[in-house]
Amino acid sequence: MKLVKIFFFAVLSLVVLSPVQITAQSRKVENMPTYDYAKYHFGFILAANQMFFRLRPIEGYHFKQFDALQANEINADSAYIYSIESEPTTGFTVGIVGNLRLGDYFDLRFVPSLAFGERYLNYRFLRYQDGADTLVDVKKVVPSTFVEMPLHIKYKSQRLNNFRAYVLSGFNYRIDLASQAKRSKDQGEIQVKINRNDIYWEIGVGFDFYFEWFKFGTEAKMSYGILDMLKREDNIYTDGIDRLSSKIFQISLTFE
């Protein structure tokens, strides 16, 4: 997570400093000089994402005892939660870019996308069975296939030669097609289920490069889920968590 923050702020610094550096350079012939004056234009996006969970355990979760029924999957007479951690993995996103010009420096962007990824919840339990205690590690996989409908305001710097920097912010409504929230309990294996719908606040920075026939962009974006996503089912995996929300880091390439 620290690497994500370092990268994000490094890109933000480049957005601020790059126009100053380019101003000192000689002017060049501009590619597609009237492109940004069109009322609207379209394109597509290819991206790599990293999905996180932000989790907050219940107060005093180390002392909450789970009985044999709740801890049935780990074969315990009783159990306590020792630790819970979220582990991210890398996925990918594809989408369509719709851009509406609002002015010289502002655009409204709608980028419907399809995102694939998964997250892990790593549990460590203190298990008691037949009078003996042991530590047990369990990894739960939470896959997601998101239909995304983000709406952003994009603020652009002044164009310098064939380059622009920009920042954007807005909201994203995501529907998780892989959500198991409506499925009944599985007696064979307990699943950690998250709800189907979520709303995210998003902020991003990026660069646009103008070539002879198209505009190419690179972008780094963070998404912060607003809602508590966990479906609680009275088991050892969900009842120790007070709040579970999503966070997604994404690096995108755009072609417009």
Q: What is the pLDDT of residue 185?
A: 64
Is 27 within the bounds of a domain?
yes
Distance of CA 239 to the CA centre of its chain: 24
Q: What is the pLDDT of residue 24?
A: 45
Is 123 within the bounds of a domain?
no
Is 182 within the bounds of a domain?
yes
Tens digit of each residue's pLDDT (9 = 90 or more) over 162-206: 999 999 999 999 999 988 777 766 556 778 889 999 999 999 999
- Length of the chain measured in residues: 256
Is 68 within the bounds of a domain?
no
Exposed/middle/buried for residue 244 (C-beta within 10 Å: 0-12, 13-18, 19+): buried
Q: What is the pLDDT of residue 22?
A: 46
- What is d(CA 139, CA 129) in angstroms, rounded to the nearest whole number? 20
* Full pLDDT tens readout for the chain, 256 residues: 554 554 455 455 554 544 444 444 556 788 888 888 999 999 999 999 999 999 999 888 888 888 888 888 888 888 899 999 999 999 999 999 999 999 999 999 999 999 999 999 999 998 988 878 888 899 999 999 999 999 999 999 999 989 999 999 999 999 999 887 777 665 567 788 899 999 999 999 999 999 989 999 999 999 999 999 998 888 889 888 999 999 999 999 999 9
Is 160 within the bounds of a domain?
yes
Q: What is the pLDDT of residue 115?
A: 96
Q: What is the pLDDT of residue 184?
A: 64
Domain count, the chain: 1
Is 221 within the bounds of a domain?
yes
Q: What is the pLDDT of residue 247?
A: 95
Is 185 within the bounds of a domain?
yes
pTM for the full predicted model: 0.82
Q: What is the pLDDT of residue 188?
A: 61
Can you give the residue range of the structural domain that contains 245? 2-54+92-118+143-255
Is 70 within the bounds of a domain?
no
Taking Cα atoms as reference points, which of 65, 73, 55 lies closest to residue 191? 73
Distance of CA 52 to the CA centre of its chain: 7
Exposed/middle/buried for residue 81 (C-beta within 10 Å: 0-12, 13-18, 19+): buried
- What is d(CA 186, CA 246) in angstroms, rounded to the nearest whole number? 24
CATH code of 196's domain = 2.40.160.20
Beta bridge partners of 133: 128
Report whether 253 contacts 208 (CB < 8 A).
no
| Three-state SS annotation for the chain | CHHHHHHHHHHHHHHHHHHHHHHCCCCCCCCCCCHHHCCEEEEEEEEEEEEEEEEEECCCHHHCCEECCCCHHHCCCEEEEEEEEEEEEEEEEEEEEEEEECCCCEEEEECCEEEEEEEEEEEEEEEEECCEEEEEEEEEEEEEEEEEEEEEEEEECCCECCEEEEEEEEEEEEEECCCCCCCCCCCCCCCCCECCEEEEEEEEEEEEEECCCCEEEEEEEEEEECCCCECCCCCCCCCCEEEEEEEEEEEEEEEC
